[in-house]
Chains A and B, each alone.
Chain A
Amino acid sequence: MTIARFLGSSRPGDGADSATGVALRRLRVALLACAVILLLTTAVLFWETRATTNAVARQSAPSIVELTAAHEALVAADLAVIRSFDSGEVRLAGPGADYQDQIAMATQSLARAAEANSAGPEASQQIQLVQGLVVAYMGLVGQADANYRQAGGAGTGLTYLWYASQLLHAPAGGVLSQLEELRDSNEELLTDRVGTGVRAPAVALSWILPLLALLVALWLTLGFLKRRFRRTVNLALLAAAGLALGLAAAASVSFVADSRLQSIRDDLAQGSYDSQVRTEALAAGSGAVLTDLVRAHCQGDDGSGCDAEALETILRADSRNGAGRDSAGGHDLGQAALTAVPVTERISSATAAADVVLLAPLFGLGIPLLILIGLHPRIDEYRYRAR
């Protein structure tokens, strides 16, 4: 069907008035249909953008940040308590203030990670498991401290310190490996959320095509009105076109939000990697100090009956071994806070972009109204003429 036939064109004198009325009504239907489709597709786009941004801002990103922070704090706590044994500080002040601070930070981060968790009930269970293991770790450190300070209790104290550190660093089932699993699952979830975003061709076409169709239909309508009614300007329809372009502009802001989410994802991935490098170095350092302590006890008077060679097999089996005592030097766990700051800023800007797209429905709702306002007088004329 050609556009002319759709519009019901006819030659003057052949009942042209009723044909014009039919054409006007058909144009109105076409315009409203395009407007409604555009409204629906952009509404879905805006809702998706908003939902994804919120999920990332309130769940995925905070989860990853807090799990990383907890991981670093626990490694730091373990290093702190081992150093306090190495220096002898433990005999006067127990595990030390640094240990207490890091443990407090770790438990707070775990609590916040539990609140923000979006990776499902299994992840919630795993966080609970980690929290239980941290309690067990703290109990072992307490035992180590209590025994080490007793006369003749150095061996038992070191034993508990070893147990505590093993609980933390065990490659399978240890506290840190559980945290790494949790962080990985949250990162995968974040990647999935951001990956299926507004840049997908199908998603982009779903609103661009209706937009183009609406603009073309408006242009055709304005042309028809000019030919039939000698009316060059139809303010309402022009305003509708303006709103449609405004809607398109708002929709394009979703690209901005999506870009920022991808930056957040990339920042978090880099932050996790950097954190892993730091904590592995710290863990290796703490492992070296601890094994030196145990060796020294074996070789000293308190280690009577200790077979150094047999003991060495146990010490070498510690997965952290291979680095020296100084591998922990030069790594500042304060960098964990630096990772969080740029991410927080990006989250704010992504959220702000998503907030902008909330204005879009205001544009969208006005379009059908303006179409009706623009065509109603002409349609109304022909309704009376037909009578």
Chain B
Amino acid sequence: MIQRRYRWLAAALAAVTVAAGVGVVVRAAARSADQVSVLASWTGAEEAAFRRVLTRFTELHGIEVSYQGTRALSQVLVASVRDGSAPDVAILPNPGELASYARQELLYPLDEVLDVSDGAAEGPRWLRLDSGERTKVYAVAIKADIKGLIWYHDRDLVGPEPPQTWDDLHTLRDAVPGGGSLWCLGMASTPASGWPGTDWIENILLRRSGAETYQQWASGALEWTSPEVIGAWEAWGELLGGSVYGGPLTAVLTEFTASGRPMFTDPPGCYLDHQASFMAGVYEGFESAPKRGTDFEFFRFPPVSGAEPLGDSPAVVSADLAGVFSDTPQARELVRFLASEEAWWEWADGGSDSVFTLTSSIDPGAYQDPADGEIARVLATAPLCFDASDLMPATMTNAFHHAVLEYLHDPLRLESIIENLEAVRLSIDQEQWLEMSCDGS
């Protein structure tokens, strides 16, 4: 009798133990299967907007997303890859950096994730990271911006027609009311300070020398000591013309997100801010809450002369590209979603926010603000050249950033700055450069 009781008890305990163990295993497996980790650079308000997209993804697919945002993206990614804890998906603004991971076979191809065939309706441009003989797709652009728009607040200064040529810009400088500076400038963006200045050089080189020269320079085939490149730097100095708010030291210490603040003071401290399309959202976050279209507008960086219609001029663009470091179904699903029109719709809050993509299916008319629609139209129709500094190998990019800061401090040191840049270019193996730059050229 007692032995039978004990047998029952033992059997019951065994059953409970097995059930508990199975439950733990199943739960652990389920937990890991329902998650994907993402690393990107968005913080603050941009992070909040991106998290809306991730929340929508979770609602649709039941996959939880662990997001980490940092401006020290490169350093964090290098450390995590080294430690074997790379995120499942990383979103970088630098194709050159992604290409280096692809060469190390740390990135997984996306050919089976997205429709990358020629002529695909949904295919974003800048899909392929061509490097030598590699032809697979390793990253997809999920967000894009035009570089080199010139934002302004004071319509009285700019006039009814925005400047059409560089001479018009020089004229504006002379028209600034006494004591003011024409240009707002902010170079600080730790740890990548200096990149706003590289945007200037890129736009100027593109306007002065054309897409082919730009491509050669971006791919490392054109010397920094070439007349075209030196001319671009000198032209920048001439355009600034010493008319920079606060002087060079203030400019290099000012955060790029704060460069436009003096535009909205009374009287304005500066009048024009050469920046990217995402700045509209930054301005609207200022204390005075200016509104696009009403309180500020933009015009595209003009051609050197009026010979070439602006509409046909290439635009410099940057894009945030998503790459997969862990080839899991969850990571693939996330990338597929981020490249979709639905993700853009959520991100742009139904067209009310300045969030742009290279997805050709987005109708520029979907944007509520005409200025946003204009930006989207340019992205959809104009020839596009990828931001050159983002294409360059990291060593070259860092040197380019530094050169901008040095040049602002002392333009007379241009010759030695250029020599140093050229020395860095020559020290980099050609295979580390990307040949992708301008679209359709």
Q: Show the binding face of A for B, using Cβ within 8 Å.
A: 121-122, 124-126, 128-129, 131-133, 135-136, 139-140, 143, 147, 152-153, 155-156, 159, 162-164, 166-167, 172-173, 294, 297-298, 303-307, 310-311, 313-314, 317
Contact = CB atoms under 8 A, between A and B. Distances in A.
Interface stretch (B16-24, B134-142, B239-247): B239-247
A304 B75 CA distance: 35
Of listed B254, B406, B409, residue having the most chain A CB within 10 A: B409
Nearest to A172: B44
B249 A311 contact: yes
Given A129-B76, A133-B75, A173-B43, A311 B246 contact: yes
A163 B190 CA distance: 6
Given A128-B76, A128-B83, A155-B409, A133 B247 contact: no
Interface in B242-299: 242, 245-250, 252-254, 258, 262, 269
30 contacts: A125-B66, A128-B80, A129-B70, A129-B72, A132-B70, A132-B79, A133-B70, A133-B72, A135-B75, A136-B191, A153-B406, A155-B248, A155-B409, A159-B253, A162-B188, A167-B190, A167-B191, A172-B43, A173-B70, A297-B249, A306-B246, A310-B245, A310-B246, A310-B250, A311-B247, A311-B249, A311-B253, A313-B246, A314-B246, A314-B254
Interface string B211-236: 00000000000000000000000000
Contacts of A135: 72, 75, 79
Nearest to B78: A132
Contacts of B252: 155, 159
CB-CB nearest 4 A-B residue pairs: A310-B246, A132-B76, A132-B75, A136-B191
B56 interface: no
A377 to B, nearest CB: 18
Interface in B27-76: 37, 43-44, 66, 68, 70-72, 75-76
Contacts of A306: 246-250
Contact of A166 (B37, B85, B188): B188
A124 B68 CA distance: 11
Given A136-B75, A172-B43, A173-B70, A143 B246 contact: no
Given A155-B409, A159-B405, A310-B245, A128 B85 contact: yes
A226 to B, nearest CB: 28
Contacts of B318: none
Nearest to B249: A306
B20 to A, nearest CB: 16
Contacts of B76: 128-129, 132-133
A125 B37 CA distance: 10
B267 to A, nearest CB: 13
Interface centre among B44, B83, B247 (most CB of A within 10 A): B247
Given A128-B85, A163-B193, A303 B249 contact: yes
Given A136-B191, A152-B410, A159-B252, A310 B43 contact: no
Nearest to A152: B410
B198 to A, nearest CB: 16
Given A125-B66, A305-B248, A306-B250, A136 B72 contact: yes
A70 to B, nearest CB: 16
A164 B190 CA distance: 8
B170 interface: no
Contacts of B43: 172-173
Nearest to B76: A132
Nearest to B242: A305
A162 B246 CA distance: 17
Contact of A159 (B44, B66, B409, B413): B409
A185 B252 CA distance: 36
B427 to A, nearest CB: 17
A294 B409 CA distance: 13
Contacts of B72: 129, 132-133, 135-136, 167
A140 B190 contact: yes
Contacts of A294: 249, 253
A151 B191 CA distance: 24
B55 to A, nearest CB: 17
Contacts of B406: 147, 153, 156
A173 to B, nearest CB: 5
Contacts of A313: 246
A162 B254 CA distance: 11
B247 A307 contact: yes
B250 A314 contact: yes
Interface string B391-427: 0000000000010011001100100000000000000
Contacts of A305: 242, 247-248
A306 B79 CA distance: 39
Contacts of A128: 76, 79-80, 83, 85
Interface in B172-217: 188, 190-191, 193
Contacts of B245: 307, 310
Contacts of B70: 129, 132-133, 173
A163 B249 contact: no
Contacts of B85: 124, 128
Contacts of B242: 305
Given A306-B247, A310-B246, 10 more contacts: A128-B80, A132-B80, A143-B402, A159-B253, A159-B409, A305-B242, A306-B248, A307-B247, A311-B247, A317-B258
Nearest to B254: A314
B423 to A, nearest CB: 15
